[in-house]
Amino acid sequence: MAVDKKNIRNFCIVAHIDHGKSTLADRLMEKTGQVSERDMEEQLLDSMDLERERGITIKLTPVRMFYKAKDGIEYTFNLIDTPGHVDFTYEVSRSLKACEGAILIVDATQGVQAQTLANAYLAIDNDLEIMPVINKMDLASANPEEAAMELEDILGIDASDAPRISAKTGLNVEDVLEQIVKKIPAPSGDGNAPLKALIFDSYYDNFKGVICFVRIKDGTVKKGTKIKTFMSDRQFDVTEVGVFSPKMTETDSLSAGEVGYIVASIKSIEEVEVGDTITDVNNPAKEPLSGYKKALPMVFSGVFPLDGSKFNDLKDALLKLKLNDASLSIEPDNSTALGFGFRCGFLGLLHMDVIQERIEREFDLDIITTAPSVSYLVHKTDGTVLTVTNPSRLPQTTEIEYMEEPVIKASIFTPPEYVGPIMELCQYKRGVYKDMVYLDKTRVEMKYILPLNEIVYDFFDSLKSRTKGYASFDYELAGYERSSLVKLDMLLNGEVCDALSIIVHKDKAYERGRQIAEKLKDVIPRQMFEIPIQATVGGKIIARETVKAFRKDVLAKCYGGDVTRKKKLLEKQKEGKKKMRSIGTVEIPSEAFISILKTDNNN
């Protein structure tokens, strides 16, 4: 039986990271009896271990709830959780398309932050009704008036009747439920019109195949419906439809206004694109819904198995991860230093981190990752343009006419006292100042154009340390700009280690070369011979360090009882060696490749 769509509310929750999004979602589920308090596991929606540990949401998860409002009517709520990190802005925009309203949470102790703003704008762009909520009222430092004023001043959102809640203690959460009913519009759409279902996410299940998360805009879908998508002509028979409560629960049908899932024996995630529209083969809609633009990877890094023989295992792992993560790009790569592996593209640094950690945890593989790079446009002298995401694939200097690098539009929120340090940092990171707005007495918004390759290189850490964690940051891609870039190579014992090469701005090459050489000197253990470490640009040495040879590694004594002990000791050392990669005659610990990133935290 279809639910009367005027009693449906589809909404998401958006907020700056740590402002309490997942906690409020949990509380809503608890108050609507979706889960009993006793069964409640902290932050239900963040089901990946990684999500729970880091306190972030990576995959979006929809959930259905029933709420009996004060008007006596039982409403169906579909909450679509959204990731909170800037890397996943794209996923946020996907879930917004499936909703009519957005709860905007603001931390009463911190007020509006960079991602509050970014997410609020996204919601406004998608014509969503914004319902502000002021959270963390249980904290002594809560200042709801200030937060409400900021919402009004900065975003033009009337926050006078915003519920002042504590998602943690449950204070005033009922007000949120009531306001959802009153403020968020019921879905429009026609249950009898031809089927239009927006795929806002999908994931791969080993038993059922691809599971499409959908928002039904028009029409009805049920088991047996023959469906197709607009972007491909392939047809599938629906084998199951259902809702999230929050586990997947089969229902008879889904119709206009509802949020749920469709299973249709779809074998590969490539066959259904997120953002595409599903319709009924026998009664097709004429036009698809407006979709989304595809998420483009912005950060690239080499991923290699620590143990070269595990290449196929790594391949399987990456393909499996890609099944549920269309934004991950992978292509085979090989490096003289690291052998066969993959060049992977990520949405951002957090995404990269998350993928790497999942490979190690879920697939029990030890991997080596190289320093992240961005995608450069190389205009060659022969008039062709090449996209280079891997420094070792950069053509010879003589073949390059000029190069372009991606830049971003950065928006930084900070208390005024940190404006100076942030300007210094942005200048150091080759930023171009655009604008600065005093939002109120306590908050300044600074706008800069910054090269993305400076962002992937420790910008977050520097920003945090310079502002004691008070500044927040959001960015969007702003095209390409011409730039003087050079390839910096590192030589170990006279041999180029391609996996350590990076592309840097000409003016920074000397400094970075020196820093990386110093860092490598620290991380490369002493070996049986002296190892010169050199940084070069275009064959010219710009920095040099030396790892001295070690002098003694022998066990002084080895008599009767020491034989077993010595053997064990060597076995342990050998085990440690397995974590190393041989570059020519030099052995390098796997973390060296990524550690070169973390060299100038003091700047």
Partner 1 sequence: MAGIYVHVPFCKSKCTYCDFASYPREISKVESYFACLYREIEGRGRSLQGKVFDTVYIGGGTPSFVESKFILGVIRQIRKFFTLSENPEITIEINPGTVDEQKIKDYKSVGINRFSIGLQSGYDEQLKKLNRIHTAKDFLLTCNLLKGENISADILIGLHDQTAEQVKKTVDLAIAGGVSHLSVYALTPEVGTPIYTDYLNGELLSEDEVADIYDEVRAYLKEKGFYRYEVSNFAKTGFESKHNLNYWQRGEYIGVGVSASSFIDGRRFTNTFSIDEYNNAIIYNKTPEVASDIIEGEDACFEYVMLGLRTAKGISTKKYRELFGEDFDKKYSDVLNKKGRFLDYDGDNLKIKDEYLYVQNDIIMAFMK
Residues that bind partner 1 (CB under 8 A): 527-528, 549-561, 563-564, 566-567, 570-571, 573-574, 577, 585
Q: Are 368 and 304 in contact (CB under 8 A)?
A: yes
DSSP class of residue 559 equals -
CB of 564 to partner 1, least distance (A): 6
| Closest CB to partner 1 among residues 121, 550 | 550
The Cβ-side half-sphere exposure at 578, using a 13 Å CA radius, reads 12
| Closest CB to partner 1 among residues 573, 601 | 573
Q: Are 594 and 371 in contact (CB under 8 A)?
A: yes
CB of 304 to partner 1, least distance (A): 21
From 401, 500, 505, select the one nearest 452 (Cα to Cα). 505
| Closest CB to partner 1 among residues 421, 525 | 525
| Closest CB to partner 1 among residues 482, 568 | 568
Residues in Cβ contact with 563 at an 8 Å cutoff, skipping those fewer than 6 apart: none
| Closest CB to partner 1 among residues 296, 549 | 549
| Closest CB to partner 1 among residues 168, 577 | 577
CB of 543 to partner 1, least distance (A): 25
d(CA 512, CA 504): 8
* HEC string for 113-181: CHHHHHHHHHHHHCCCEEEEEEECCCCCCCCHHHHHHHHHHHHCCCCCCCCECECCCCECHHHHHHHHH
Q: Are 171 and 137 in contact (CB under 8 A)?
A: yes
Q: Phi and psi at residue 430, in whole multiples of 5°? A: 65, 30
Q: Phi and psi at residue 171, in whole multiples of 5°? A: -60, 125
| Closest CB to partner 1 among residues 252, 562 | 562
| Closest CB to partner 1 among residues 222, 566 | 566
Which neighbouring-strand residues pair with 545? 533
DSSP class of residue 549 equals P
CB of 577 to partner 1, least distance (A): 7
CB of 340 to partner 1, least distance (A): 20
d(CA 429, CA 432): 9
| Closest CB to partner 1 among residues 402, 529 | 529
CB of 522 to partner 1, least distance (A): 17
Q: Are 226 and 281 in contact (CB under 8 A)?
A: yes
| Closest CB to partner 1 among residues 140, 556 | 556
From 294, 186, 258, 451, select the one nearest 459 (Cα to Cα). 451
Q: Are 95 and 178 in contact (CB under 8 A)?
A: no
CB of 566 to partner 1, least distance (A): 7
| Closest CB to partner 1 among residues 234, 568 | 568
Where helices occur in 271-374 by DSSP H, the ranges are 311-323, 349-362
Residues in Cβ contact with 305 at an 8 Å cutoff, skipping those fewer than 6 apart: 311, 313, 314, 341, 365, 366, 367, 368
10 Å Cβ neighbour count for 188?
12
| Closest CB to partner 1 among residues 540, 552 | 552
Q: How far apart are the first and last CA of the chain?
A: 62
